[in-house]
Structure formats: C-alpha cells, structure tokens
C-alpha cells in the first residue's frame, strides 16, 4: 500500500501517516465563518485539503474516507457584519453560505462528506459544557462559562509555547469574570435581539471554539486521524479545541495529525481584512477561469506562504493555455502509482506540477498513452476536467503573441539540448493552432498560416 507522509504540527516532524483504522479515515478541516464573501486566503485551505482528500481517497478507497468541513453560522463577526449591512443574521449566513458553495464549485473542489453547521449543534455544545463544569475543567460566573486553562496540563503543546508565552504573543479577550487571562469562553449571554438559546446558565450563545470539538466528535469520534486548517488557527482555536475535547472525552489524544497551511500574501504582507488587501473569490471568478486560481494556489508548498500577484496569475494562465492543447477526456481512476510520489511526501504540489510539465513534454512527442497519462495526472489534482472549448472561450482575451513567443523559447531550449523530438512536437503544436514558424540563422520568426 502507498504510504503518505505528513508534517505534523503537534510533533513538529514529518511522520508516516498511520491511520486509526484503514477502512475508516477521518479528516476534519475548519470551514468558513459566513460573514462576508470568502477571499483568496480562504481559498487556499479549500484547494489544499481538497487535493489531500483526493489523495486519501486514492490510497484508502473513496468509501473509507470521511471529510468533515464545518460552517460557522453564529459568531461575533457575523453579528457585527449583519448590523453593518443592516440585514438579518439568518439572511447574511444563508447568502454567504450560498456564495461559498459557488466558490467551491468554481475552484473545482469535491464536496466534503459532511458539512455541519454550528447552529444545528447547540444542544450538543450545552452538553459538552455541562460535562466540563461537572469535571471541574470549566466554571460559571455571571451567566458566562469559561474553560479553566490551568486544569489542562498539555495546553500550549500544539503551538509549542508555554502559557506565559502564549499570553504575551497575542491579543487575549479581557474579562473581569475570568480567573486566569488565558481562560476562554464556552458560553456567554447574548445582547438584546442577538440570537440566543436557553441553557442552564441563562439565554445566550456558545463560544466559537466549541463547535469544532462537538462536530469533530459527532462525525469522526472522540479520537480521529487528521485535523487541518490555516496557520492562524493554531492558537487559540486549535489549542482550545484540543483542551475541550481531551478533557470532555477523557482521551489522551484528539486528532493524531495536525496540518496547517501558510498564508496567502500580497506584497509580502499578511492578507487580512484590516489591511484592505482582500480579493474575493467571487471577484476573481468574473475575470479568471477557476482552473488558473486552483493551479496558482497549488504552485507553492502548502506550508509555505504564497505570494498572490498579477504575475503569478499570468504565468499560470500561460501554463494552462499550453496544457489545454493536449486536453483529452480520460478515465482517471487507474493512475500509475509512480506519478503520486511527490504528493505522498507531505503533499508536495510544486514537485507534482513540475512532473506535469515533463509529462506534458512527453505527451507532445506523440504517443497516445503519454497523452492519456498527462491528462490523468492533471485530473488527479482537479485540473483539465473541463472541455477545452470552454477554456478557449474563456481565454479569448489572453494574448496569443505572448503564448507563441513563450513556446518558441521552449522550442529553442529543446533544440539547444538536442531534444529534437520535443522541438518538433512544439512546432506541430503551434501548427495546429494555425501558426507557422521559420528558423533563420540566429532567430525564429512566426506568422499565421
């Protein structure tokens, strides 16, 4: 059986992935808080964990992998955003969830096995809080319930920091009811007119971290294999999830492997709402084919930061324009194992993409089987699954000149290296597009037929 390696945030090591049970793989990834249109930073975990889901499906079989991605539909941010936009919370959550689903389709992501919503799990959250209070891991004060961080000795293990370092390094909510500044809220009263539910501690609503503990357990069990999300979720969100779940469920481990993707940056600045550097996926979808965005998001290793720029988009467009010339509909289920090597190694997508480039060159040289192999390998990471005619319609605005110049450069490189088969294949590729090239002594020119 193929073996996958994962860099585990919890141990800070690359480890062989050993599932709890080979026919019951569980992966939980924190989903969106539906308060505003998802942006390109939100798109990265979607695409990264989608490829990882495809890989797990390939190794363990589609029916043996459960992928859970939640929707946070009650939260301070949603309440604030609904007031700002002057719409109801329910309306806002529904609209943004709808937009999010369109974005997932646009990015060609498979549907997760389950997509539970926080508001559908309030009673289970109340149950978990009661359990934590009963066992002295949490306390009530003035209709608020807090988790007592000092009651959990492993707090800070995921971030690899001591409590005092955590406290110094981040903005912690201040409250006069907390016994310790690191304690975090499990339940709090709602303000007038804000959504609220009955509980033993009065009408109110849950703290954000609780929902993932509850839904993780409901769909995957008290212990499961993989938990994923963006780097910014390590502390406090994931640290708090671990504390809640391990104390409530009396287990010595919650998720065995923790995977975190890096940020998407603009001009080397972390993308955040406050810096105004937001590109919504919806805005991108009006201008760029989703395949371009998908490939661009996979061009860096998932743990590394990804610099989002016009240049990246244009270069990715050129690559796909080229690749689509070898498009063919194929049955992608029987992919040769050797192709997956780089993905098995902690989802090394840049290495996989360079393999796609060489498979493309092979397929240009002509044999039917190499063309199939190239298409299957593209399909595996969710590329080239749509008809190339649609692609061409979408790319009418792409500059043909640039494309031809690029290809001529590639051909000259091949000739220099003595790879005349590839050079010939590129000539034919251009011929099929109605372009004739001519070599003179020191340069290559081209014209339309």
User: Residues 384 to 443: which contact Zn ion by CB under 5 A?
Assistant: none
User: Residues 44 to 83: which contact Zn ion by CB under 5 A?
Assistant: none
Instruction: Output 183 or 239, the one with its CB closest to Zn ion.
Output: 239
Distance CA 366, CA 221 (A): 50
Stretch that binds Zn ion, among 52-60, 205-213, 302-310, 416-424 (CB under 5 A): 205-213
CB of 121 to Zn ion, least distance (A): 12
Stretch that binds Zn ion, among 150-158, 210-218, 261-269, 428-436 (CB under 5 A): 210-218
CB of 297 to Zn ion, least distance (A): 21
Instruction: Output 247 or 378, the one with its CB closest to Zn ion.
Output: 247
CB of 237 to Zn ion, least distance (A): 6
Distance of CA 138 to the CA centre of its chain: 33
Stretch that binds Zn ion, among 141-149, 204-212, 335-343, 363-371 (CB under 5 A): 204-212
Could you give the count of Cα atoms lying within 13 Å of 19 in the half-sphere of its Cβ?
A: 18
- State the distance between the two ends of the chain, measured CA to CA, in whole angstroms: 52
Instruction: Output 129 or 212, the one with its CB closest to Zn ion.
Output: 212
Distance CA 319, CA 325 (A): 10
Is 264 a residue that touches Zn ion (CB under 5 A)? no
Query: Residue 234 carries which DSSP code?
Result: I
User: Residues 144 to 163: which contact Zn ion by CB under 5 A?
Assistant: none
**How many chain residues interact with Zn ion (CB under 5 A)?**
2
Distance CA 216, CA 137 (A): 19
Instruction: Confirm if 152 and 247 have CB atoms less than 8 A apart.
Output: yes
Distance CA 90, CA 32 (A): 15
The CA-atom distances, in angstroms, between 160 and each of 11, 155, 157, 257 are 9, 9, 5, 15
Stretch that binds Zn ion, among 27-35, 74-82, 301-309, 409-417 (CB under 5 A): 27-35
Q: Of 47, 431, 10, whose CA–CA distance to 256 is shortest?
A: 10
Tokens linked to 344: 């098995």
Q: Of 256, 263, 160, 158, whose CA–CA distance to 216 is shortest?
A: 256
Tokens linked to 123: 């009673």
CB of 212 to Zn ion, least distance (A): 3
Instruction: Output 30 or 408, the one with its CB closest to Zn ion.
Output: 30
Instruction: Output 28 or 201, the one with its CB closest to Zn ion.
Output: 28
Instruction: Output 212 or 377, the one with its CB closest to Zn ion.
Output: 212
Instruction: Output 59 or 128, the one with its CB closest to Zn ion.
Output: 128
* Partner residues linked to 255 by β-bridges: 224
Instruction: Output 4 or 30, the one with its CB closest to Zn ion.
Output: 30
Between 298 and 337, how does the x/- string for binding to Zn ion read (CB under 5 A)? ----------------------------------------
Query: Residue 112 carries which DSSP code?
Result: P
Q: Of 223, 104, 134, 236, whose CA–CA distance to 181 is shortest?
A: 236
Q: Are strands 184-189 and 5-8 parallel, antiparallel or unpaired?
A: unpaired
Is 212 a residue that touches Zn ion (CB under 5 A)? yes
CB of 208 to Zn ion, least distance (A): 8
Stretch that binds Zn ion, among 207-215, 248-256, 277-285, 426-434 (CB under 5 A): 207-215
Instruction: Output 112 or 290, the one with its CB closest to Zn ion.
Output: 112
- Quote the crossing angle between the two packed helices 420-432 and 349-364, to the nearest 10°: 80
Tokens linked to 321: 């324009």
Is 30 a residue that touches Zn ion (CB under 5 A)? yes
Is 109 a residue that touches Zn ion (CB under 5 A)? no
Instruction: Output 258 or 391, the one with its CB closest to Zn ion.
Output: 258
Strand locations in 175-223, DSSP E? Answer: 184-189, 204-206
Is 125 a residue that touches Zn ion (CB under 5 A)? no
CB of 30 to Zn ion, least distance (A): 3
Q: Of 113, 131, 100, whose CA–CA distance to 214 is shortest?
A: 131
CB of 247 to Zn ion, least distance (A): 17
The CA-atom distances, in angstroms, between 287 and each of 36, 268, 282, 396, 431 are 20, 23, 9, 12, 29
Stretch that binds Zn ion, among 81-89, 104-112, 192-200, 211-219 (CB under 5 A): 211-219
Instruction: Output 121 or 317, the one with its CB closest to Zn ion.
Output: 121
Under the rule (CB under 5 A), what is the footprint of Zn ion?
A: 30, 212
């Amino acid at each position: 059986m193929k073996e996958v390696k994962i860099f585990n945030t919890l141990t800070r090591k690359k480890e062989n992935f050993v599932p709890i049970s080979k026919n019951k793989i569980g992966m939980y990834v924190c989903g969106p808080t539906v308060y505003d249109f998802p942006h390109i930073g939100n798109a990265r975990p979607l695409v990264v964990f989608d490829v990882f889901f495809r890989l797990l499906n390939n190794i363990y079989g589609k029916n043996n992998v459960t992928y859970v991605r939640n929707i946070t539909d009650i939260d301070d941010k949603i309440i604030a955003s609904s007031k700002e936009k002057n719409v109801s919370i329910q309306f806002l959550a529904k609209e943004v969830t709808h937009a999010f689903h369109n974005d997932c389709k646009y990015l060609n992501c498979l549907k997760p096995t389950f997509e539970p919503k926080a508001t559908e799990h309030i009673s289970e959250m109340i149950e978990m809080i009661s359990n934590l209070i009963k066992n002295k891991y949490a306390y009530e004060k003035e209709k608020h319930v807090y988790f007592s961080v000092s009651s959990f000795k492993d707090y800070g293990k995921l971030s690899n920091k001591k409590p005092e370092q955590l406290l110094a390094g981040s903005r912690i909510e201040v409250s006069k009811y907390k016994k310790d500044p690191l304690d975090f809220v499990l339940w709090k009263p709602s303000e007038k007119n804000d959504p609220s539910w009955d509980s033993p501690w009065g009408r109110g609503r849950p703290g954000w971290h609780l929902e993932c503990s509850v839904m993780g357990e409901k769909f995957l069990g008290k212990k499961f294999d993989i938990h994923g999300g963006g780097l910014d979720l390590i502390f406090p969100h994931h640290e708090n999830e671990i504390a809640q779940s391990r104390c409530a469920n009396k287990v010595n481990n919650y998720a065995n492997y923790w995977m975190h993707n890096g940020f998407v940056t603009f001009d080397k600045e972390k993308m955040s709402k406050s810096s105004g550097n937001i590109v919504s996926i919806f805005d991108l979808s009006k201008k760029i084919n989703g395949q371009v965005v998908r490939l661009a998001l996979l061009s860096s290793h998932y743990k590394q930061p990804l610099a989002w720029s016009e240049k990246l988009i244009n270069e990715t467009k050129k690559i796909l324009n080229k690749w689509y010339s070898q498009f063919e509909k194929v049955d992608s289920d029987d992919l040769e194992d050797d192709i997956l090597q780089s993905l098995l190694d902690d989802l090394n997508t840049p290495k996989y993409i360079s393999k796609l480039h060489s498979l493309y060159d092979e397929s240009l040289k002509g044999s039917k089987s190499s063309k199939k192999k190239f298409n299957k390998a593209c399909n595996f990471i969710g590329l080239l699954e749509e008809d190339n005619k649609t692609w061409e319609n979408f790319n009418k605005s792409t500059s043909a000149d640039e494309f031809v110049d690029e290809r001529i450069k590639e051909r000259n490189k091949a000739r220099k290296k003595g790879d005349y088969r590839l050079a010939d294949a590129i000539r034919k590729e251009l011929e099929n597009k109605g372009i004739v090239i001519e070599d003179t002594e020191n340069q290559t020119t081209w014209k339309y037929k």
